[in-house]
Each structure stands twice: as structure tokens, then as C-alpha cells.
């Protein structure tokens, strides 16, 4: 049975991450911490001795820069896919995410971006975003059977993949944080069944910023 094995990696930190601002499709570069985190991904994957068939990335620069550092490759060798972009938050991009998301034990804000049915002006609903990401990975698996792939993307992308694997609906609280430069490993088989192998691997990040 053919399968596609994927290591899904969140990009390194940006200044907007540090400021807890929604980035979405805004093309924000890595900061120094983010570059160090990308280097920590390189060390982690070298220890795994994985022979990747290809490196895929969102076409936003924070993901591309992470790929360039983690895999010591040129932009030309990275397969950039706009389908792997973060959710488009439309008019809310640049705003503090905590004011637009329902937090544990807090009342629901007037605008709650976690509401699957919320229409986002100039952006994507959570439901539309989820459908985009599931379709993107199923297409990748069909196009690249029996390959080992590194995919650099975004926190929202990782969350949609986790929800699909776990069969968790879009309203179920997520029990863990999605850290910058975290590594997530899963498989899609030829029947389009998704299987988790190792999730939220973060030990390599702890020493990422030493010497900064």
C-alpha cells in the first residue's frame, strides 16, 4: 500500500508572533529568535537521518525562510504552495489575537474567530480554511505517493491537520499550544486515511535561542 509520509513544521518566530498579533496572509519575516528556531529544526532532523524527497512550503516568507535555514537550501529548490498559507484573517490581520478569540474560562468576545460560521470580511471563515488545508494535503499525497516530505507551514495549518486526524470538530478546545518550529509527523495512505506518528515535538526548541 502506498503512503506519503509528512513532517509538518511550523515556521520560526516573527515579531508579530512575539507581539501576539494576527498575521494571516501578511508577509512578515522571521526575527532573530525565529532564525535560531529554524536552525534548531535542522539539528533535530539531522539526528533523525531522514532522506527527504522534497521540501514544500507555504509561499509566505516566514515559512520559506524557515525552510531555507532548516534545510540549507535555496528558494528555487523549495516547492512553494499558496494552498499551505495560514488562514486569511482579512480585516482583522494585525490585531491582537487574544481580543478576537474565546479564551478558556472567559466570556465569548463580540468577534470570535473560532466560530466556524463567522464570516470574515476580506478573509476566510474557519470552515473554508479547514476545507482548503484538508484538500491541499490530500492533493499532495496523491501527487507524491511513497515520498517523505518536509512541509513548512503555519500554526493554523497544523491545527487543521491535527483536528482531521483526531476527528475533532472545529469547536473542540485544543489541549496544547502550537509552538514556533514544532515538528509534527503523520502519514496519508492511498485511501486518504491520515495517521499520526509523532506530534508536537518541541524539545529541540528549548536551546534554540542560546547565544542570542
Is the distance from CB of 77 to CB of 84 less than 8 angstroms?
no
What's the Cα-to-Cα distance from 198 to each of 62, 128, 173, rounded to whole Å?
24, 27, 20
Catalytic residue, candidates 5, 13, 86, 93 = 86
What's the Cα-to-Cα distance from 145 to each of 4, 111, 141, 193, rounded to whole Å?
5, 41, 6, 13
CA distance 134 to 159: 11
Which residues partner with 5 through β-bridges?
148, 187
CA distance 187 to 4: 6
CA distance 14 to 180: 9
User: Active-site residue 154, yes or no?
Assistant: no
DSSP state of 98: G
User: Active-site residue 11, yes or no?
Assistant: yes
Is the distance from CB of 25 to CB of 167 less than 8 angstroms?
no
Helix, coil or strand: residue 5: strand
The DSSP secondary structure of 6-53, one letter per residue, reads: EEEEEPPPBHHHHTTB--TT--PPB-HHHHHHHHHHHHHHHHHT---S
Catalytic residue, candidates 11, 68, 93, 124 = 11
Catalytic positions, written as ranges: 11, 86
Amino acid at each position: 500500500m502506498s503512503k506519503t509520509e509528512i513532517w509538518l513544521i511550523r515556521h520560526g518566530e516573527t515579531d508579530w508572533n512575539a507581539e501576539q498579533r494576527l498575521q494571516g496572509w501578511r508577509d512578515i519575516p522571521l526575527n532573530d529568535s525565529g532564525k535560531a528556531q529554524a536552525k534548531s529544526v535542522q539539528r533535530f532532523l539531522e539526528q533523525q537521518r531522514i532522506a527527504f524527497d522534497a521540501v514544500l512550503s507555504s509561499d509566505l516568507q516566514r515559512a520559506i525562510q524557515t525552510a531555507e535555514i532548516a534545510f540549507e537550501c535555496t528558494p528555487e529548490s523549495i516547492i512553494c504552495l499558496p494552498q499551505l498559507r495560514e488562514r486569511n484573517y482579512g480585516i482583522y490581520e494585525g490585531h491582537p489575537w487574544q481580543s478576537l478569540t474565546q479564551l478558556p474560562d472567559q466570556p465569548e468576545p463580540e468577534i470570535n474567530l473560532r466560530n466556524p460560521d463567522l464570516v470574515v470580511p476580506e478573509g476566510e471563515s474557519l470552515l473554508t480554511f479547514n476545507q482548503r488545508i484538508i484538500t491541499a494535503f490530500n492533493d499532495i499525497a496523491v501527487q507524491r505517493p511513497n515520498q517523505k516530505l518536509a512541509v513548512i507551514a503555519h500554526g493554523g495549518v497544523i491545527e487543521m491537520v491535527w483536528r482531521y486526524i483526531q476527528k475533532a470538530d472545529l469547536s473542540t478546545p485544543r489541549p496544547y499550544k502550537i509552538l514556533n518550529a514544532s515538528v509534527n509527523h503523520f502519514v496519508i495512505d492511498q485511501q486518504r486515511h491520515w495517521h499520526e506518528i509523532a506530534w508536537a515535538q518541541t524539545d529541540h526548541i528549548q536551546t534554540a535561542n542560546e547565544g542570542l
